[in-house]
Structure 1
Amino acid sequence: MNKNKGILLVNLGTPDEPTAPAVKRFLSQFLHDHRVVDLTRWIWCPVLHGIILPRRSPKVAEKYQQIWMDEGSPLLVYSRRQKEKLEKKLTLPVELGMTYGNPSILSGIQALMQRGVTDITVLPLFPQYSGTTTGAVEDALEKALGKLETKPEWTFINSYHDHPLYIKALAKTVRQQWEREGQGDFLLCSYHGIPQRYADNGDIYPQHCVETTHLLSVELDLTEKQIGMSYQSRFGREEWIKPYTDKRLESMPEEGIKHLNVVTPAFSVDCLETLEEVAEECKSVFTHAGGKIFHYVPCLNDDDAHIEMMANLITKD
C-alpha cells in the first residue's frame, strides 16, 4: 500500500464521562441526527429537550457507571486497543473517529493528515449496513470533509456482514465461550434494532442480520433448533423490527431452552448495550422467566482474529 495511506476506524460514540451532564450532551447529539430519529424537528425537539433528555440522562448515567472501566468507557477503551493493534499490523497510520461525541470524525481525519496521510480508508465498525449507523457515518464524513481547505482522497467500506473472516472470528468467540462455560441449548444472536418503518422504506439492515446469522450457523454447524436471532434496544412507542430480544427470552424456557448463550454480532466492541443491557438486563429477563443458565459471549473487541479481518478488508484491493 502507498505510504501516504491511512485508516480511520469509526464507531458510534460514547459519553466522555459517566455523569448525567455528559450523557445528556452525548444523547442530544445522537438523537438530533435525522438518520436516528426522522421525526419533524418542531415536534421532536421539544419532546427531546423537555422530556426525554431530562428523564433519561441520569438513568443512563447510572448504567454507564456500572460498566465504566479504569481507562474510560468500554467502547472507547476497546476501540483504542483496536487502533493500536491494527496500526502495528499494517504499519500504517490509524486513527479513531466517532459519529457522535469524542474523538470526532473531523479530529480523526485531521490527525491522519497531520501524519502525512493523503488517502484515507474509512472503516465504520458496523458489520451490517444500516442508514442509522453506516449511513450516519457517511453523512458525518461528508460534513467533516466540507470543513477542510484541502481534502484527502478517501475510500469507504460499507459493510462486512458476510466476510468469511468476520464469520470465523464470531464463531471463534462462541467456541471459546463454550469451552469456558459449556455449550447451551441455544445460541441467540441479538442485534441492535431499528424501527420497522425504516426497513419498510428500504433499509437493508434486517437482510444483513439474517445472512450473518445463517453464515454463523453454518460455520458452527448448528441447526435451526440450536440458533436464532432477535433485535434489542428498541426506543419509543412505534413498532421496531422483530422478534424483540426481551420477548424472545421470555418465551424460551417454556420451549425447553434452559441453558442459553447470547452473542451480539452487530457490535464490534463491548459497550452499554452489550455489557449492561444484554449481560445484565437480558440475563434477568431470561432467569425470571424460568431459564437456568445464561452466558453472554463477549464482542470481538481487539481479538487478533478481529484485527486480522479488519486488515484483510483494508488491504484486499
Structure 2
Amino acid sequence: MKGVLLVNLGSPESPTAKDVKPYLDEFLMDERVIDAPKWLRAFLVKGIILQTRPKKSAKAYAKIWWDEGSPLIVLSERFANKVQQHTKMPVALGMRYGKMTIKNALQELKEKGVDEVLLVPLYPHYAMSSFETVVVKVLEEQQQYFPEMEVTTLPAFYKNADYIQALSESIKDGLKDFDYDHILFSYHGIPERHIRKSDPTRFHCKIDGSCCKINSVAHNTCYRHQVYDTTEMVKAYLGLPEEQVSSSFQSRLAGDPWLKPYTDFEFVRLAKEGKKRLAVITPAFVSDCLETLEEIAMEGKEQFMEAGGENYKHIPCMNDNEAWVKVMAKWVNEWEAKGVLAVTPST
C-alpha cells in the first residue's frame, strides 16, 4: 500500500527558552547545518551559541506565536489535512527537528498498512541543510525501524511549471492593492562552502556570477542556481520588469562567507536608492515560519522604514492555499497511479 510523508523543518514546543534550547541543539548539531567536525560543532553550539541564543530566539518566537501553536506547525498541519482530502492514500506529517518526529510519522503510515512511501521534503530547492538532511534522516529511520518500507523521494520542484504557477498566482494575490516600486525575493541563506560541497563536479560552482548561467549537472544540487531560476520564472510568468525585481539571502551566522547579497543590507540599499514601496516574498519556504513572520515581516519592515522606505509589504508563503494543495495532490496522485513522479522541470 502506498502513502505520503510530508516533512517540514520543525519548531520548539513553546516560545520559551526552556523549549527553544533543545530544539536549537538538535537543529544546530545537524552536521548538514553546521558542517564542522563533531567536536568543533559541539564546542560552537553547546559551548557558545546555546548559552545566549535560546533567550533571544524565544523572544522572537513569542512575537509570532499563535493561539493554536507554532505557525509553521499549524500551517503544515492544515496543508497536510487538505492534501489528504484530495487523495485516497494515507498522508502523514513529520518534522526534521522537534517532537513531531519523522519516526512517528513513519510509524503512523505503517499502522495504516503502508509499505511504499513517497517522501516530500517541503522545500522547493535543494540544499544540504534543508532538502538533503530530510532525505538522509528519513532513510536512516526507515532502515533502522521500518526496513520493509520502500521510500521514493519527490525531487526539488523549484522550477516545475505547476509550482511556478501556484507561487506566481499567490504573489499576484499578495500584490493586489499594493503600489510597489520594487519586489525583493528573499531566500534562506546558506554558507558559500555548502554550494561547493554539493557540487558533484567539484569544479563548476565558483559563485562568480556566471557559473549559475552555464548548464551543468551541478545545477541539480546547486541551491544558488535553483533560487535564481525560481525568481526568473516567476518574473516571466507575472511579466515583472527587470529593473523592479531582485533576489537576496537572509539568516546567516557570523564567521563565514554566506550567499550574497544579504537581505538586511538590501533593505537599506533599496531605500537609499529611492525605492520607497517594497514588496518582499520568501520562496525558499512553502509555509510561513520564524524567518518569514519575524525576520522579514517585522524586522525587515523596521529596517526598510528606518532607512527611508515609506511602504512595505511582506507577501505570505503559499501555506495551505487551494492552488498549492491541488498541485501537491496532483503530484502524489500521479505517483500512486503510475508509479512515476509528476514533478518534471519546465525547460
TM-score with structure 1 setting the length: 0.96
Q: CA RMSD in A?
A: 1.2
Counterpart CA distance in 1 for 2:279 and 2:320 is 21
After TM superposition, the runs of 4+ consecutive aligned structure 1 residues lying more than 3 A away are none
- How far is the alpha carbon of 1:157 from its aligned partner? 1.0
Match of 1:243 in 2: 261
139-148 vs 213-222, which moves further: 139-148
Match of 1:229 in 2: 247
Say if 2:184 is the partner of 1:188: yes
Cα offsets for 1:37-84 (capped at 9, x unmatched):
111222221221122112000110111111111111000000000110
Superposition pairs for residues 92-131 of structure 1, below 5 Å? 92-131=89-128
Cα offsets for 1:275-313 (capped at 9, x unmatched):
000001111111111010000000100000111111222
C-alpha contact (below 8 Å) 2:121/2:135 kept by paired residues: no
Cα offsets for 1:184-239 (capped at 9, x unmatched):
01111100010011113325000000100000000110121111110001112211
Amino acid at match of 1:129: Y
Determine helix, strand or coil for the equivalent of 2:135: helix
- How far is the alpha carbon of 1:151 from its aligned partner? 2.4
| Closer/same/farther in 2, CA of residues 104 and 149 from structure 1, 3 Å limit | closer
Match of 2:9 in 1: 12
Say if 2:195 is the partner of 1:199: yes
257-266 vs 90-99, which moves further: 90-99
Match of 1:291 in 2: 309
Counterpart CA distance in 1 for 2:143 and 2:163 is 33
Determine helix, strand or coil for the equivalent of 2:133: helix
Structure 1 portions without partners, runs of 5+: none
Cα offsets for 1:249-290 (capped at 9, x unmatched):
111022221101000001110100000000011111111110
C-alpha contact (below 8 Å) 1:183/1:261 kept by paired residues: no
Determine helix, strand or coil for the equivalent of 1:252: helix
Determine helix, strand or coil for the equivalent of 2:33: coil
Match of 2:204 in 1: none
Determine helix, strand or coil for the equivalent of 1:92: coil
Superposition pairs for residues 65-76 of structure 1, below 5 Å? 65-76=62-73
Amino acid at match of 1:215: M
Structure 2 portions without partners, runs of 5+: 200-220, 335-339, 341-347
Aligned length: 313
* Identical-pair percentage: 39
Say if 2:290 is the partner of 1:272: yes
- How far is the alpha carbon of 1:167 from its aligned partner? 1.1
